[in-house]
A and B are shown apart, each in its own frame.
Chain A
Amino acid sequence: MDAHLRTFVIRSAFLFLISLVLVAGFWYHREFYQIGFTNLLIIGGVVTFLVIWAARLALSGELPRGRPRGELTFSMEEADRLLKSVARLVVRPSEGTTIPGVGHVVRARYDTGPEFGRLLIEDAHRAFLSDLTEADARQAGYRSADELRETGAARWRWRPADVVTVLRVRSVGGSR
């Protein structure tokens, strides 16, 4: 079965189950709702709204982490390394870059614009560019720290005394 179709069926079945639970709940409380149509409308409406709202968030994959906040852009090579899980670290200049905190999800885009996935930020720290180690560079998908610095110098005009943000990320799915 096509993945999209399977997802659609699972989500629809889940929503149908929730609908059944709601109806059962209203039936169980039928005597309570005899206090009046207005009360039923207000209480039932609020409950239904909250349940559907929560279900929508759950089905969209935005629970428990919430919607993606912010985005990071990557070259084709960097994106390829991330998608193939060759790279786990992302190094970005600290100055002038807004990055959400740990535990948030960011949109990952090619520098040409299209989104290619979403990344969960698992850890983050700041370091002087000169403090980046060979291990850092390899985890970021580069052969050496020098290569990482040279790439950054070409893209962001890095200097050794600059401060960079080092993110450890994990892919949490493709673009939606």
Chain B
Amino acid sequence: MNLSSAAILAGVAMDAWLLALVAIRGRRVWLQATYAACSLAYIALGASFVGANEGVLSPLRDDVALGIVLVAHALTAILVLGLLHGETLPRQRPWAFLLLIPVPLLAFLAPIEGWTAAAAYEGNAVGGFLVICLGIALGETIYAGYSSRLLAGPSVWLTLGVVALIVAGPVYAYELEFLREPSLAGANLASPIALACFALVALQADPFPISSRSSTAGTKSRVLPEQDAIVFEEVRPNYALRTADEASAAGRSTLIVGRNSASKFAGGAGFAAVLPSRHAALRALTTASEFLTASPGGLVVVEDVADLSTLSEWPATAEAVVRLRHVARRTHSTVIFSTSRLTNGERQAVRDLRLTWWALPDPPREIEAILAQSFGDGAARLLASFGRARGIRREDLTTDQVPALLDFLTRALAELSGVVAGTAAHGLRTQLDAAANSLQSFAALTAEEVARGEWPSRASPEDHPELLVTAAEYWKGKEMEELFTAADELILEEEK
């Protein structure tokens, strides 16, 4: 076996291994199929060259070999475009697939024009087509690296792969021709290098695994208005997760992209856990793109934009936000971004994108404000008692806990039945009923309604004069103090 055969054979083995790796590890069917077709083309050319060179196989017909060379180059360009543009390629750049159209025509004309795979890079229509394919791949990667912070890293590897193909393709063919050495008949020595680079990029941008993907069809629900992207400005992503839950319950395909909320989120939505990676923003983008392409009209909630920024830095994350909006628009879907834990600068950068912006309240603060309307300054104490009884920190309170809070307050009031009676007990119950109504009304509000409406914490004291008079003057604090004491005693009872 001569040196060329050995090198090409080693390359074929490497190509096959890379193909298996991408097939096993990848999560993008379309991209995997393109990668497989491209790899198989290079493997066929390499195996054919080695087989013919070593006398093991009969040489391929010239038009067939040339056809495979043409397919390999066209698929290289399509694969590179797919790696840069992901699953949105079929919708976004259908012209990429036009590259396959000349292949049968050129293969048909090959015997007539005397074109062969061995002289594929000569100055004729075939050579021109091959150079155009490699040129498109190289030009697109260089442009992506120049214009995109998100794709800057992958574009380096893609450029390296395409340049390797060019050096070992037309450049090496020219050198062999000059040296009057036999050509490689379309086989490319650098195919393992190029395919390794493409595989690396494919795996770097692989979507995050999704757990418990919703099987329901992507139907529109009235949980959200028709918007491609909505920013939820909130301290913690409470309303973002709640909206995902409501949308999922309403039958809409929903995906949450976050780091740690799988445990606290019990809805029917899918959950994609963000893994620590430099390419987290890119992977979040491909995850959402894949999901929305498969489930048009769906909903994606990116609850940890801040963590994406920490993992991939803000410029890449901001670009992912913009690209996600475009994906959502093309798939008639909605994507929600939570501003929780973003820095002021990052929050302003998101605001500058002019997306639909919903400022949302912090539930613990609003719950306390509602309680304060009935119980005055003791609201914080009641809330603290409830938190201790349930083992919930104040900042972790959500509207989901409103029924439990009302139950807790009712029980505390019942404890007072032996102490407070008559008008005082009736008044206290009236206060509790008023608080319960307000809490239930507030808890029933959707994110959109809360964003539009007046928050309890913003309401001025003059809005509830009758309650304040009752709490502060009529009861003079005596029964209130007993209620607070009863609430504290409830904790002791539950601990027992």
Contact = CB atoms under 8 A, between A and B. Distances in A.
Contacts of B178: 31-32, 35
Given A32-B178, A102-B278, A102-B280, A128 B311 contact: no
B277 A102 contact: yes
Interface in A153-172: 163, 165, 168
A102 B341 CA distance: 18
A29 B175 contact: yes
A22 interface: no
Interface size class of B (residues with CB under 8 A): 20 to 34
Given A29-B175, A125-B307, A165-B310, A101 B395 contact: no
Nearest to A35: B178
Interface stretch (A92-100, A111-119, A136-144): A92-100
A175 interface: no
B381 interface: no
Most B C-beta atoms less than 10 A away, residue of A100, A102, A103, A168: A102
Interface string B416-454: 000000000000000000000000000000000000000
Most A C-beta atoms less than 10 A away, residue of B178, B277, B310, B316: B310
A125 B280 CA distance: 12
Chain A facing B: main interface SS: mixed
Nearest to A103: B278
Contacts of B312: 101-102
B356 interface: no
B313 interface: yes
A122 B280 CA distance: 13
A62 interface: no
A104 B307 CA distance: 16
Interface in A128-149: 128, 130-131
A71 to B, nearest CB: 16
A31 B393 CA distance: 78
Contact of A101 (B175, B179, B259, B278): B278
Nearest to A101: B313
B346 to A, nearest CB: 9
B276 A126 contact: no
Contacts of B344: 95
A104 B312 CA distance: 10
B306 interface: yes
A127 interface: yes
A122 B393 CA distance: 30
Contact of B310 (A31, A35, A125): A125
B219 to A, nearest CB: 34
B343 interface: yes
A100 B313 contact: yes
A163 B311 contact: no
A55 interface: no
Contact of B276 (A32, A100, A102): A102
Contacts of A131: 395
Contact of B343 (A31, A94, A127, A130): A94
Q: Which 9 A-B pairs have the closest CB atoms?
A: A103-B278, A123-B276, A124-B310, A126-B341, A101-B313, A126-B306, A163-B341, A102-B311, A125-B307
Interface of B: 175, 178-179, 259, 276-278, 280, 306-307, 310-313, 316, 341, 343-344, 393, 395
